[in-house]
Amino acid sequence: MVRNRTLLLIAGIVWMIAGFNVLRIGLIAYAGNLSIFNILCSSVVFAIFWFMIFSRLVIKHTKRIKEYTTERQYFWNFFDLKSFFIMAFMITFGIIIRVFKLMPDVFIAVFYTGLGLALTLAGIKFSVNYIRYDK
C-alpha cells in the first residue's frame, strides 16, 4: 500500500509512459506525411483531447485521491474501475487499428501525435499535482 500522494506520482508515470508510446508511434508514422496541414490537424486533436477529456480527468482523479479517508491505498487506486475499462478499450482499439491497418499512416500520424501529446501532458499534470500535494 502507498500513501495517497504517491498515487498521483504513479498516475503521472503511467500517463507519461502511455503518452510517450502513443506519441512515438505517431511521430514514426509522420515519415512521409509531414505537412503544415497535418501538424495543424495534430494540434486540433491535441486540443480536443486535452481540453475536453484529459484536463478534466486529471482534476477529477486528483480530487478523488485527495478525498480518500484513509492515509494509504493500493497502488492501483490511482484510477477508478471505469477509467481502467476506458484505458483497456483505448489500448485494444489502438492495437486493432494498427495490426489490421484499418487507417492510413497519415491518420496514425495526425491522431496519435495529438493524442500522445495530450496523454503526456496529463502525466505531467499528475506529477505536478504530486509535487504540489500539500501546498
The helix/strand/coil state of 7 is: helix
- Over its length of 135 residues, how does the chain's per-residue pLDDT go in tens digits? 999 999 999 999 999 999 999 999 999 999 999 999 999 999 999 999 999 999 999 999 999 999 998 888 988 888 888 888 988 998 999 999 999 999 999 999 999 999 999 999 999 999 999 999 976
Using alpha carbons, select from 67, 58, 72, 37 the residue that is nearest to residue 129: 58
For position 33, what pLDDT does the model report? 95
For position 135, what pLDDT does the model report? 61
Q: Can you tell me the distance from the alpha carbon of 88 to that of 92, in angstroms, rounded to the nearest whole number?
A: 6
Q: Can you tell me the distance from the alpha carbon of 53 to that of 57, in angstroms, rounded to the nearest whole number?
A: 6
For position 69, what pLDDT does the model report? 86
